Every structure is written in structure tokens, then in C-alpha cells.
Amino acid sequence: MIAAISPADINYDETLSTLRYADRAKQIVCKAVVNRDTNAKLIRELKKKYKNYVIFLKAEALKCKK
């Protein structure tokens, strides 16, 4: 951030206010967070369970054929 300040005595209050604002703005930390959709997570988990169940059933079908 660039803070424009004035060396003139008449602008002392304005300069001080600007410097305080710049100091507060410097301390701001932004942490990005990915929004997670709970329904999408549930769907992924169910698809994984379904896939594993299909593999299990195919293996059981092969056992029955022997």
C-alpha cells in the first residue's frame, strides 16, 4: 500500500489519519477458503461405496461360477 502524506503542518491531522489507516491496512491478512458443498461430498462418498460394492459383487459372481 502506498500512503500519500503531506509534510505541511496544516495537514498534520490528515497525515496522521492516513498513516494510521495504512498501518491497519498493512495488518490485514486474507486466507482463501474453498467452499465445500456437503451434498457433493456425500455424492462422492456414495459413488465410491457403489464402486466398491460393484467390485465386491463381481468377485462374488466369479466365485460362484467356479
Task: Dump pLDDT digits (tens) for 20-52.
Answer: 999 999 999 999 888 888 898 899 999 999 999
Total domain count for the chain? Answer: 2
- Whether residues 17 and 39 fall in one domain: no
Domain membership of residue 61 as a residue range: 35-65
Instruction: Check whether residue 40 and residue 57 sit in a common domain.
Output: yes
Q: Please determine, for residue 66, whether its predicted confidence score (pLDDT) is greater than 80.
A: no
Cβ atoms of residues 22 and 1 within 8 Å: yes
Q: Give the residue among 37, 27, 29, 5 at the shortest CA–CA distance from 18.
A: 5
Q: Quick one: 22 and 40 in the same domain?
A: no
Say yes or no: 5 and 27 in one domain: yes
Are both 28 and 6 inside the same structural domain?
yes
The pLDDT value recorded for residue 35 is 82
Instruction: Please give the pLDDT value at position 36.
Output: 82
Phi/psi class of residue 33: alpha, beta or left (left: φ > 0; alpha: ψ in -120 to 50)? beta
